[in-house]
Amino acid sequence: MPLQTLQDLLVEELRDLYHAEKQLVKALPRVARTARDPRLKSALEAHLAETEGHVERLLCAFAAMGQKPLGKRCRGMEGLVEEGKEMLSSPGMDAVRDAGIIGTAQRIEHYEIAGYGTAINFAELLHLEQVAGLLRETLEEEKGADRALSSIAEEYINPAAVALGQQDAAD
């Protein structure tokens, strides 16, 4: 699609986000099954439900703009998901692997936060308030997921991973 207007660029950004979210709907169940800490598992499962809502909001945004969510492959998310698969298949101690899962998940959240922030700005500039509102709602959920992951990492997972290293050094 030629990018001749800011609206063209917004549609491309939304298509990218749509494909990214659909990839996450497929990937998150495996990530949640692999996580060992129950708090992390629960956070990932909750974010899967939110992600399904993100897909629906994007469909509403496309409808509001008279567009279809076609034709865009999100290579950035493909790379992040592939890195996540590598993390899931790596052998290791549960707490260390969970710390790796959190790191990968947060990189994904930051990618999405950047994409939604950009799309919101474009929608606001184009006076597409309904679209901007839908995107803002998702952006807040993405930020919330990032905060939840940080909290779980800082309070539970990372200290447990450090303790494993100290235990190995003492042995």
What pLDDT digit, counting tens, does each position of 139-156 carry?
A: 999 999 999 999 999 999
Checking phi first, is residue 72 left (phi over 0); if not, alpha (psi -120 to 50) or beta? beta
Exposure of 25 in the CB half-sphere (CA atoms within 13 A): 14
pLDDT score of 1 more than 70: no
pLDDT score of 169 more than 70: no
Residue 72's pLDDT is what? 84
Both tokens assigned to 62 = 């496309």
Q: Which of 23, 163, 4 is nearest to 94 (CA)?
A: 163
pLDDT score of 168 more than 60: no
- Tell me how many degrees the CA angle 140-40-101 measures, rounded to the nearest 5: 90
pLDDT score of 126 more than 80: yes
- Segments making up each domain of the chain, as ranges: 6-170
Residue 90's pLDDT is what? 87
Residue 164's pLDDT is what? 79
Both tokens assigned to 142 = 């993405």
pLDDT score of 102 more than 60: yes
Non-local (6+) Cβ contacts of 66 within 8 A are none
Residue 171's pLDDT is what? 46
Among 50-54, 65-69, 129-133, the range scoring the smallest mean pLDDT is 65-69
The larger pLDDT score, comparing residue 1 to residue 119, is at 119
CATH number for the domain formed by residue range(s) 6-170? 1.20.1260.10
Residue 65 contacts residue 128 (beta carbons within 8 Å): yes
Would you say how long the chain is, in residues? 171
Round to the nearest angstrom and report the end-to-end CA distance of the chain. Answer: 61
- For residues 2-6, give the mean pLDDT: 92
